[in-house]
Structure 1
Amino acid sequence: MLEALQYDFIQNALIAGILVSIAAGIIGSLVVVNRITFLAGGIAHSAYGGIGLAVYLSLPILLGATLFAVVTAIIIANITLRNRSRIDSIIGIMWALGMAIGIILIDITPGYNVDLMSYLFGSIIAVSQEDVYYLLVLNLFIITSVSLFYKQILAVSYDSEFASLRGISVKFFYTLILILAALSVVAAIKVVGLILVIALLTIPTFLAEFFAKKLSSMMIISSLFASFFTVCGLLISYFYDLSSGASIIIVGVITLLLVKILGKK
């Protein structure tokens, strides 16, 4: 692996993997605590519409996915807050609509030559220097937002009615949580892809729950686990010429099973 580090693409992949792992650990904890895994899944797949929009308008792929995912998160937050009984149907519609828009925009784009499979299943080796800078900015925004509003996010996550009585805007912070989830999804697209992104958000958090007693500790431990999965998955992908996204998730699942088994013993 030390020899591989001399290559720029390996360096970019490693840095990007760590950045994504930090975001996944922080926001994955919020996704699990708020029980919005399905919501995050809907945002992840609807982000494909942003990829199609970026291809059609010749914009950076991650920028298009970010804009589309954030808008989707805001729409979902507003609808689900007013009509929680229809949340499954709403997510299903947004999920399908985003994918459909992306496919149609790509179909009508003349002469496109983008490897769309890498956005569905991840291709960490293909991360560019510009992608690393973009991920760094996303990470800084996520960390800053959670640090500034940690108490409010904590209150809304565990008891929204109590938070409302304390004068905390549940609508604003619930929307903020979904926007941060959308940004994390976008950050993880190049690493594990849209199909596997939910696994990266949830598996490290499930493991962190064994060791953490508070939300902040869960975020840190989740980030460490996600980083471990990403580095190990990158090694496996590099040496055995396998899909990076799938390798990362398999490492995560095996680790989860081992911890579960050892925990029972």
Structure 2
Amino acid sequence: MDLIEFLLEPMRYAFMVRALTASLVAAIVCGLLSCWLVLVGWSLMGDAVSHAVLPGVVLAYIAGVPFAVGAVIFGFLAVGLIGLVRDTSRVKEDAAIGIVFTTLFAFGLVLVSVTPSNTDLNHIIFGNLLGVSQEELIQIAGLAALVFVALVLKRRDFTLYAFDPTHAYALGLNPRLLGAALLGLLALTSVVALQAVGVILVVAMLIIPGATAYLLTDRFGRMLVIAPALSAICAVTGLYVSYYADTAPGATIVLAQGVVFTAVYLFAPRQGLIGSRLAAGRRRAREVSGEPTAAVAVEPPT
């Protein structure tokens, strides 16, 4: 089998084309949002929102409305409940997150167990990428476009909020409003990724791309390009591997992201565990041999 046939073989099936489209859309928007989540330190919040949407999905099925409707409602509900518990009690934010998301997720599991259904609702937990319908693909694309446009248009405000909320307030921005908007976009993004990888693995798509890009560059603007690009590459790679190896596509996509993160963690030139030591060894060798180092070779700006 040559390369062209290898690439075109899965695309002969309509369900694979829809799966590839859905995974690419989810990967790009999750990768973009993950940059801010990593900087703000909202990894646990992403986990909370992604798990909390489960009862909304089941209730949407019972009511006969699109899954995305129930998921969005419960995503916003989870964010609101976490803020309520945090602001009206002595409970700290991490504990409030744990309480809300575990309770709502358990509620969703109970609903799944007692709801008679011709549809396997467990697909919501573990993902059903190969079962994405045309209507669901349109929903995914619509929500993803909304999140993408909002992040691009407000990227400067969100970035300032992530780095220094006090400075953002001094410039006339409202940090609480920006935080709420970012949480709302997190809820929508969780719904986008839900169909692709399921409730369990959504948090990986929301965190791994940004964390990987964070190890590769010190510039946030570059992170916003690197994270979605790596996430999209992993989505395509994972889907092809799952097709030929007959593995779960959502899990394989996340596994590909984990493999890339491991490689970057070990071998990134400046931040990698091994790569940084190799670079330091090369610098010491140049110093011993009398060669100018990169820092010496650079001319000062005029």
Common fold by TM > 0.5: yes
Question: Within 2, Cα distance between the matches of 1:18 and 1:82?
Answer: 40
Residues 1:78 and 1:177: Cα distance change in structure 2 (over 3 Å): farther
Distance 1:71 1:101 in 2: 14
Maintained 8 Å contact 1:52/1:106:
yes
Q: 2:209 and 2:99 mapped to 1: Cα distance?
A: 28
Query: Which residue is equivalent to 1:231?
Result: 236
2:188 is equivalent to residue 206 of structure 1: no
The residue matched to 2:215 in structure 1 has which SS? coil
Determine the C-alpha separation between the residues in 2 that align with 1:97 and 1:159: 32
- The one of 23, 44, 51 aligned to 1:45: 51
Structure number with greater Rg is 2
| Structure 2 counterpart of 1:128, one-letter code | S
Say whether the 8 Å CA contact 2:213–2:223 is kept in structure 1.
Answer: yes
Partner of 2:257: 252
Q: 1:220 aligns to what SS in structure 2?
A: helix
Match of 1:124 in 2: 129
Greater relative CO, 1 or 2 (CA 8 Å, sep 6+) = 1
Q: Are the structure 2 counterparts of residues 186 and 242 from structure 1 closer, same or farther at C-alpha, using a change threshold of 3 Å? A: same
Report what 1:177 is aligned to: 182
Q: How many residues align?
A: 264
Distance (whole Å) between structure 2 residues aligned to residue 77 and residue 158 of structure 1: 21
Deviation at 1:96, TM superposition (A): 2.0
**Local SS of the residue matching 2:92:** helix
Q: For structure 1, list consecutive stretches of 5 or more residues without a partner in the other structure.
A: none
2:34 paired with 1:28: yes
Percent of residue pairs bearing the same amino acid type:
27
RMSD: 1.9
User: Structure 1 residue 18: deviation in Å?
Assistant: 0.8
Structure 2 residue aligned with 1:189: 194
Query: Which residue in the other structure is 2:293 paired with?
Result: none
The correspondence of residues 1-265 of structure 1 with structure 2, limited to 5 A, is: 1-77=7-83, 79-80=85-86, 86-109=92-115, 111-263=116-268, 264-265=274-275
Unmatched runs of 5 consecutive residues or more in structure 2: 1-6, 269-273, 276-302
Aligned to 2:278: none
- Contact 1:118/1:193 (<8 A) preserved: yes
Deviation at 1:83, TM superposition (A): 6.5
Post-superposition shift, 1:261?
2.6
Cα distance between partner residues in 2 of 1:80 and 1:151: 27
Give the TM-score normalised by structure 2. 0.81
Please say if residues 143 and 188 of structure 2, whose CA atoms lie closer than 8 Å, have aligned partners that are also in contact. Answer: yes
Query: d(CA) in 2 for partners of 1:166 and 1:262?
Result: 39
Answer with 43-52 or 250-259: which moved more: 250-259
212 and 84 in structure 1: CA distance in 2 versus 1, 3 angstrom threshold: farther
Cα displacement (A) at 1:117: 2.5
User: Does the C-alpha gap of structure 1 residues 104 and 256 become closer, same or farther in structure 2, counting only changes over 3 Å?
Assistant: closer
